[in-house]
Chains A and B, each alone.
Chain A
Amino acid sequence: MIIMNRSKEWLLKKADQEDGCFVSVGGFVDDITKIESSPQAFESTRAAFVRLLQLARRAKRLSVEEFAAKAGVELAELVKIESNEHIVPTPRTVYKIAQFLKLPEKKLMALSGLVQLKDSQFSEAAVRFAARSEPVQKLTAQEHKALEEFVMFLNDR
């Protein structure tokens, strides 16, 4: 069983040493311009937009090319969207994707960050969905469930 150091002197010394240091592992700085160009509120939901797109495409067993052709969107843009959560899709693309996936356009617009939806439940559902999914080949049973639930949520409200 782990027992942490209980010494007061040790702790205060360590706190002083850590003060002013940047203690972090794992993320990395993106270009400042990228941070400034993407509105704060939309970052979390855009990750969910990308995940939804990826899972929905995989659920239909379509490649990126096939999806682009069937949905009537530009392949190059679709590739960029799926590989980079910071890309803001064009309204036309989001509209076409919503049509193809039979999802409410306004919700998808909000998810992609094109419009702002002041609904904390919506943001939270989006964050939750993104945390539950993986952007790889086969949908697991869990991902199917997550996708179904999220699609129901989008259609419901």
Chain B
Amino acid sequence: MKIPVEIRDNSTGEIVQANLFDAITIEHFIETQKEWRPLVIAATRKLAASKLAAGDYVPAHFHWDWTSKEAQLKLLAIHFYGIEHLGVLQGIMKVESVGHVCRLPVQQGKPVIHIDYLEVAPWNVKQIMEALGKRTKYGAVGTRLIEAAVRHSIEEGFKGRVALHSLSTSERFYREVCNMTPVGRDSGKQNLLWCEFTPEQAQNFIGD
């Protein structure tokens, strides 16, 4: 099943038609390993060689544990989304509806959609492509996946509540661009920052 979703073609600045789909298969995991990983590694090496601070620039999604994911495709509590354009995967996301609850005091204990994994294809990431001396291909892919998570939350009856553990390199995006509320660092998860959407913040983000 596919839903039309627009993204920006960064070479022209024009909007192009992509698709949001949820029929993720093992082939997509393989694609992220075959097509994405080599670029991430090449860019990481160049960045390391140019001695930039690792925390600031090194792609932080390098070691997502993609193994053992096939069994998760069958669980109701877990949902994967992908964005594809012209048959090429542009972004992938995993959300969970069970296992986490809201931590923000105003909605403490309420059910929440947790974004467990989100990755945008490396050719859409500025830091990676600049390291390789190239331009990014498409824009707003990450935003579209977060929008999908919010709408998934609404469909589940969670009113748009979404949470995630932010990598340090992504904190600025979630806090300042998405306007999620940072709740605190999770000592059980490499001290990553837990960020949460209230229903109002979620509605503001998706622009409804």
Q: Contact string, B21-44, partner A, CB cutoff 8 A, digits 1/0?
A: 000001001100110011001101
CB within 8 Å of B: which A105-131 residues: 123-124, 127-128, 130-131
Given A25-B170, A27-B60, A51-B67, A2 contacting B152 (CB threshold 8 A): yes
Selected contact of A23 from candidates B116, B117, B118, CB within 8 Å = B118
The CA-CA distance from A1 to B152 in the complex, in Å, is 9
The reply to whether A22 and B140 form a contact with Cβ atoms under 8 Å apart is no
User: In the complex, which residue of chain A has the Cβ closest to the Cβ of B63?
Assistant: A27
Give the total of A residues in contact with B, Cβ under 8 Å.
Answer: 49
Q: Identify the closest chain B residue to A142 (Cβ).
A: B71
In the bound complex, residues from chain A placing their C-beta under 8 Å from that of B67 are 47, 51, 130-131, 133
**Cβ of B172: which chain A residues have Cβ within 8 Å of it?**
21
Contact B148 A21 (CB under 8 A): no
Whether a CB of chain A sits under 8 angstroms from the CB of B3 is: yes
Pick from A4, A32, A36, A134: contact of B144, CB below 8 A.
A4
Question: Are A128 and B26 in contact (CB-based, < 8 A)?
Answer: yes
Q: In chain A, what residue has the closest Cβ to B143?
A: A14
| Residue A60 interfacial (CB < 8 Å) | no
A-chain residues with CB within 8 Å of residue B8 when the two chains form the complex: 11-12, 15
> In chain B, residues 138-179, which have Cβ atoms closer than 8 Å to a Cβ of chain A?
139-148, 151-152, 155, 164-167, 169-170, 172-173, 177
List residues of chain A with CB within 8 A of the CB of B66.
Answer: 130-131
Contacts from A to B (Cβ < 8 Å): 1-8, 10-12, 14-32, 35-36, 40, 43-44, 47, 51, 123-124, 127-128, 130-135, 140, 142
9 interchain residue pairs of minimum CB distance: A23-B142, A26-B117, A15-B139, A27-B61, A27-B64, A15-B140, A21-B173, A25-B118, A15-B8
